[in-house]
């Protein structure tokens, strides 16, 4: 599926790998251009926010979550995509039907970090076609770091291709976690950063060796699917801890993602998690 042409230049971070077409003839370059412009607007909203109060609609939802959702969803619907957003659910443009291409959106991953001034928050966008992630962009809205991935064409950080290189054993691994570990896994160190999309992308680019969700069924697909494409296209591995399909377009569905630079480390953290 192509996106409309316009006069807005491609966003920074769209590199050689980004300019290729993805599987099924998708205009991946056009999709990433759209994603980049949306993300730039999201960053402007976050940087200009002064009211960090909660929305009152549901626990943990900030007013800024809704503001960023507004700048994400409208352009995607206008481009003809269905949208599954953490903040506004599943919706389709006029004339579209379920099963068409859907962009899964986490408008502001790490909104509590953002409210506290911690520079670890992101917008994550991932085009899913026939339940397969095809094109993804995850951007740190404070630092501007931008991870991209195209199915079958690799992953990039800031436009430069990335691939997992370090194949750590658990005792030498630095592991990002979401939630509270029930025991010491035998790792070298662990970090709880508070934005799973960025945590998983950091496995792809080498800052972390693995990511483990310590809670059961705590993540919606918007939390991880963009980063899932990034880490797998970089050569890493990612699964649900309970063996379920991670790509599910049900707003009510929850999963337990675990990612690692390699299969051996993945098995090791899954074994520890099951203890």
The answer, yes or no, to whether residue 154 has pLDDT greater than 90, is yes
pLDDT in tens, 197-228: 999 999 999 999 999 999 999 999 999 999 99
From the CB of residue 243, how many other CB atoms can be counted at a distance below 10 Å? 8
pLDDT class for 237, splitting at 50, 70, 90?
very high
Question: Is residue 5 one of the residues assigned to a domain?
Answer: no
pLDDT of residue 94: 83
* Mean predicted confidence (pLDDT) in 240-247: 98
In a domain, 142, yes or no: yes
Residue 131: CB atoms within 10 A of its CB come to 11
Total number of domains in the chain: 2
pLDDT tens figures, 254-266: 999 999 999 999 9
Report how far residue 108's alpha carbon sits from residue 126's, in angstroms, rounded to the nearest whole number: 14
What is residue 92's three-state secondary structure?
coil
Has residue 6 got a pLDDT over 80?
A: no
List the structure tokens of 247.
């790509």
Judgement on whether residues 60 and 33 belong to the same structural domain of the protein: yes
Q: Is the pLDDT of residue 11 over 50?
A: no
For residue 9, pLDDT over 70 is answered with: no
111 plus 210 within the same structural domain: no
Domain containing residue 241: 170-273
Same domain, 150 and 37: yes
Residues 33 and 153 in one domain: yes
Residues 156 and 14: their CA atoms lie apart, in Å, by 8
* DSSP three-state, residue 264: helix
Report the CATH number at residue 147.
3.30.540.10
**DSSP state string for 151-211:** TTTEEEETTEEE-------GGG-EEEEES--SS--S-SEEE--S-HHHHHHHHHHTS-SEE
User: 174 and 157 in one domain?
Assistant: no
Tell me the average pLDDT of the chain: 90
Domain end marker among 143, 161, 179: 161
Please give the structure tokens belonging to residue 111: 């909104």
Task: Answer whether residue 11 is part of any domain.
Answer: no
In-domain check, residue 1: no
The band of 33, judged by pLDDT with boundaries at 50, 70 and 90, is very high
CATH at residue 267? 3.40.190.80
Q: Report yes or no on 133 lying in a domain.
A: yes
Q: Coil, strand or helix: which one is 246?
A: coil
Asked whether residue 256 is domain-assigned, the answer is yes
Instruction: Say if residue 103 is in the same domain as residue 176.
Output: no
pLDDT in tens, 40-66: 999 999 999 999 888 878 887 899 999
pTM exceeds 0.85, yes or no? yes
pLDDT exceeds 50 at position 38? yes
9 belongs to a structural domain = no
12 lies in some domain:
no
Task: Indicate the length of the chain as a whole number.
Answer: 275
Instruction: Provide the strand spans (E) within 65-142.
Output: 82-85, 89-91, 102-109, 122-129, 132-140
């Amino acid at each position: 599926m192509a996106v409309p042409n316009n006069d807005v230049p491609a966003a920074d971070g769209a590199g050689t790998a980004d300019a290729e077409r993805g599987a099924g003839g998708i205009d991946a370059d056009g999709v990433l251009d759209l994603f980049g412009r949306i993300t730039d607007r999201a960053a402007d909203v976050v940087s200009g926010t002064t009211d960090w109060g909660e929305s009152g609609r549901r626990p943990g939802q900030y007013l800024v979550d809704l503001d960023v959702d507004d700048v994400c969803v409208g352009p995607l619907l206008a481009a003809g995509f269905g949208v599954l957003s953490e903040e506004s659910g599943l919706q389709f443009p006029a004339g579209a039907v379920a099963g068409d291409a859907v962009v899964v959106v986490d408008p502001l991953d790490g909104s509590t970090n953002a409210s506290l001034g911690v520079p670890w928050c992101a917008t994550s966008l991932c085009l899913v076609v026939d339940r397969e992630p095809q094109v993804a962009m995850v951007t740190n809205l404070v630092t501007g770091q931008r991870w991209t991935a195209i199915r079958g064409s690799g992953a990039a950080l800031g436009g430069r291709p990335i691939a997992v290189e370090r194949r750590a054993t658990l005792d030498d691994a630095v592991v990002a976690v979401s939630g509270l570990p029930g025991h010491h896994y035998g790792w070298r160190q662990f970090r709880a950063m508070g934005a799973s999309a960025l945590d998983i992308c950091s496995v792809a680019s080498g800052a972390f060796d693995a990511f483990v969700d310590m809670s059961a069924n705590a993540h919606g697909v918007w939390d991880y699917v963009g980063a899932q494409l990034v880490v797998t296209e970089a050569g890493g591995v990612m699964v649900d801890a309970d063996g379920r399909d991670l790509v599910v377009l049900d707003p009510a569905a929850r999963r337990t993602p675990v990612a690692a630079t390699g299969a051996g480390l993945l098995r090791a953290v899954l074994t520890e998690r099951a203890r």
